[in-house]
Amino acid sequence: MTATHRLAAGPPVAQWHRPLLWLAVAMAILVVVSIGGMIVDGRVLTGLPIWAKSVKFTLSTLIYAVTWAWLIAQLTTWRRVAWSAGTVAAVGLGLELVVIVIQIVRGTTSHFNFTTPFDAALWNTMGLSIMGVWLATVLVAAALFRFDLFLGRWIYLDSRSRGIHSLVISPLLLFTILLAPLGVLAYLLIRSLRAPRPVPEPRMET
């Protein structure tokens, strides 16, 4: 546990990020529809059932939406910023799935499709939406782990000043982001083991 989030009991589902929860519900419905499409629709695209992409993307989006809806609810600081970023992510992911389903119904690919101006417009829309999702995800992650990142920066700068090799510090930085107190303790132990021994002062002869 860090200063920015509390993972013990956690808030009830009613306090989770609402737009992401609605996205998760929509994805759960779309998963069922997509699996049904794989059963009744025999079309094949790029060597796979045409609805396979929808199943894959809806499942991954469902997991993302539930996970981040819960994580945002853990925040005690930066909550409004993270809530707005989560809403941007929900809209962007929903838009991406709309484009994918439209192209499945049309019987063509959604990614990197510049066959017609309409296809190119859909792909560009998807690309912009995913860029927004990526930036929103980075912002929420920064809100969740900003204290851990502060500790990681201190470890990095202190280790460089002491000449500790980056191969030793790199896994420790990841450990600090995941489990900040233990990561700091591990670094302090390494630092104490590598601390230079004080040079004894020469005795003055009398």
- pTM for this model (two decimals): 0.71
pLDDT (tens digit per residue) in 118-148: 999 999 999 999 999 999 998 888 887 776 7
Tell me the pLDDT tens digit for each residue of 44-90: 999 999 999 999 999 999 999 999 998 888 887 888 899 999 999 99
Q: Which domains does the chain have, with CATH numbers?
A: 13-145 (1.20.120)
81 three-state secondary structure: helix
- What is d(CA 114, CA 122) in angstroms, rounded to the nearest whole number? 9
Amino acid at 187: Y
What are the tens digits of pLDDT across the range 151-190? 788 888 888 888 888 787 887 777 776 666 677 788 888 8
Helices 18-40 and 52-73, interaxial angle, to 10°? Answer: 160
Whether residue 103 contacts residue 109, with contact meaning beta carbons closer than 8 Å, is answered with yes
Checking if the pLDDT of 192 tops 90, the result is no
What distance in Å separates the CA atoms of residue 21 and residue 87, rounded to the nearest whole number?
Answer: 10
Which residue shows structure tokens 């982001």? 177
